[in-house]
Amino acid sequence: MNSVIKNLSELESFAKKLLKELRPGDVVALSGELGAGKTTLIQALARSLGLSRSALSPTFVILKSYPVDYHGIKRLCHIDLYRLNDFKAPHGFEECLGEPDTVCFIEWAEKIKDKLPSKTIWLQIKARSDNSRLITKTP
């Protein structure tokens, strides 16, 4: 499925729609170049889950988790593998992915593709010359 997102307010609507499709235990893998908008999308999703704006700001921490309460989703996990250079899953990774009440978002997920469950939802984000974003979702 392809979506063209023209600006940040359309991204907000996209995040709300995506959130309705998510179930506890889902793993969402995001790929796309630096600046494509992976973190921005996860922040929009986090806001829809009721987390404050300051949560999910970029840090040097690879894996962070936050308590949430949304239709059976009790925890949001944000993993950013940008600085990962040994292609080994970070500390705490198994606990996040294995938890049935957690939704896990992974930036630069292609680095550990073979460690992700087969039912992982993939979002490929591409910035276009007019500053819109093309988001391709599989499956």
Ligand X SMILES: Nc1ncnc2c1ncn2[C@@H]1O[C@H](COP(=O)(O)OP(=O)(O)O)[C@@H](O)[C@H]1O
Report the nearest approach of ligand X to the CB of residue 80 (Å): 8
123 binds ligand X (CB under 6 A): no
Residue 1 interface partner, choices Mg ion, ligand X, none, CB cut-off 5-8 Å depending on type: none
Where in 61-120 is the site for ligand X (CB under 6 A)? 107
Angle formed by the axes of helices 8-21 and 38-48, to 10°? 60
Where in 46-105 is the site for Mg ion (CB under 5 A)? none
Where in 27-46 is the site for Mg ion (CB under 5 A)? 38-39
56 binds ligand X (CB under 6 A): no
The identity of residue 128, as a single letter, is: R
Instruction: Give the total of residues touching ligand X (CB under 6 A).
Output: 15
Burial readout 31-50 (b: 16 or more C-beta within 10 A, e: otherwise)? bbeeebbbbbbbbbbbbbbe
Q: Which is nearer to ligand X, 58 or 117 (CB)?
A: 58
Q: Which is nearer to ligand X, 10 or 99 (CB)?
A: 10
The identity of residue 76, as a single letter, is: L
Q: Distance of alpha carbon 20 from its chain centroid, rounded?
A: 14
Report the nearest approach of Mg ion to the CB of residue 33 (Å): 10
Report the nearest approach of ligand X to the CB of residue 2 (Å): 14
**Burial class, 115, CB count within 10 angstroms (exposed 0-12 / middle 13-18 / buried 19+):** middle
